[in-house]
Amino acid sequence: MTKTYHNYVDGEWVGSTTGETFETTNPAAPDEVVAEYPAAGDEDAERAIRAANEAASAWAATPGPERGAILRRAAGILDDRSEELTERLTAEEGKTHAEAGGEVQRAVDIFYYFAEQARDLAGERKAASGPDTNLYTREEPVGVAALITPWNYPIAIPAWKLAPALAAGTTAVLKPASLAPGPAVELFEALDEAGLPDGVANVVTASGSTGSYMVAHEDVDAVSFTGSTAVGTQVYETAVDRGARAQCEMGGKNPTVVAADADPAAAAEIVAAGGFGVTGQACTACSRAIVHEDVHDEFVSELVAAAEPIEIGPGDEYDMGPQVSETELEGTLDYVDVAADDGATLATGGGRPAGDRFGDGYFVEPTVFTDVDRDDRIAQEEVFGPVVAVIEVGDFEEAVAVANDSDYGLSASVVTDDHTTANRFIDEVEAGVAKVNEKTTGLELHVPFGGVKDSSTETWREQGRRGLDFYTLTKTVYDNF
């Protein structure tokens, strides 16, 4: 049954001023309509921004523990509805039931985490040079934030932008990606039931052009964006040119280095989890396995052996779901052709699976290429599908050089039994996240997250206590008595 959603503006569930709507469909069965949404336009965004501005002063003056209590109640509501949300996410974005359930739980945990963080936003007391001065800092809300989020983590990323903003006393307008906006809108249903004051948080379902309107709006004080590097660069330039603060987390070409002393089977398991999990549709997905020549052949055999048994199909029953759209599927298949044209060897996968259960769904096989040169397009460009390029190297120095030979620098990992090698990798790799004996995907919510180079604007980090910094301004007070 198709669900009908509305925009949430100034505490009310409303349609679009355009009167138009759009539908989302199930990527495992594209003829199946999942939900209907208002096709918001600039006027809708204007109303939401105005509501956020009008609510900003009162929300900033609301004590932190009271703001946290609302987030805590919302977390409980989300937790109670976790199975429903999981099914919605699977139907609209295509993740497996287990992957969608994990993402929903992460959103719940994020709301609980920032509910507690809201208690500690009082600033710091410092020692003054003179005897008659109280010297301290205050953390104050930045104002109004525009939040623009992608389709690949449709509830977790909105949660990790929205929760710290609200905890900090900043009001917000969220525009989720139109391929899978439902889980994000569900966050606002929970906040509404939890007693969030009118106008404090607003959501509009709209195209990218309305997002551009929000970024350029003079009453938006801060812009947080997650998405492609090409769009993120434009978002950042537009925001900072008018004096707003901006943070953008963007693409990745994430490597896993497999050292000479690594267990090939264990390394293959790590790479497969990072490369094929969530159908490769993660900015932190492993797309390059950089493997020492001593273990290369055995590693390739183990990686193929890990890829081939993966059961593909609708996410509510199988190991790997579809890609989110026909465009994403075609992009992945195009890169398969590009890799072959560049001389890489297809070790497994590379096509659409055949069988009745796949129907017209956007399914693709987990794919491994070998004989990949570090300069090949498959080794340099973000694919955003379940494709791993294996690059053979002669020593650790070459491995790190290849890992760093990328415009991106988001997540990177090394598989090794030698802690000296691990420490060298941590010191030398150019990435915002460095992991040892672990897949490139997967993040702890209480530590900072972000990239370097073209993966990030390198301004503010998200998540953890550092995630609050973007939504607050520091005022230093000299109180002489």
Please list the active-site residues.
Answer: 283
Q: What is the three-class DSSP state of 178?
A: coil
Tell me which amino acid residue 72 is.
R
Q: What is the three-class DSSP state of 374?
A: coil
To which H or E segment does residue 208 belong? helix 208-216
Q: What is the three-class DSSP state of 116?
A: helix
The gap between the terminal CA atoms of the chain, to the nearest Å, is 67
Radius of gyration of the chain (CA): 23
What's the CA gap between 465 and 447, in Å, rounded? 7
**Token reading at 131:** 């005897």
Task: Identify whether the C-beta of residue 269 lies closer than 8 Å to the C-beta of residue 305.
Answer: no
Angle at 156 between CA 452 and CA 105, to 5 degrees: 130
What's the CA gap between 378 and 386, in Å, rounded? 12
Return the sign of the alpha-carbon dihedral for residues 409, 374, 387, 207.
positive
Q: What are phi and psi of 258, to 5 degrees?
A: -105, 105
Residue with tokens 């939401």: 48
**Token reading at 227:** 């998405």
Give me the helix-helix angle, 64-80 and 97-117, nearest 10°. 160
What's the CA gap between 406 and 390, in Å, rounded? 15
The DSSP-derived string for 143-168 is SEEEEE--SSSTTHHHHHHHHHHHHT
Return the sign of the alpha-carbon dihedral for residues 98, 104, 107, 112.
negative
Name the percent of the chain in helix, strand, coil, to the closest 5. 40, 25, 35
Q: What is the three-class DSSP state of 185?
A: helix
Give me the helix-helix angle, 64-80 and 182-193, nearest 10°. 120
Residue with tokens 């404090």: 200
Using left for φ > 0, alpha for ψ between -120 and 50, and beta otherwise, residue 114 falls in: alpha
Task: Identify whether the C-beta of residue 251 lies closer than 8 Å to the C-beta of residue 381.
Answer: no
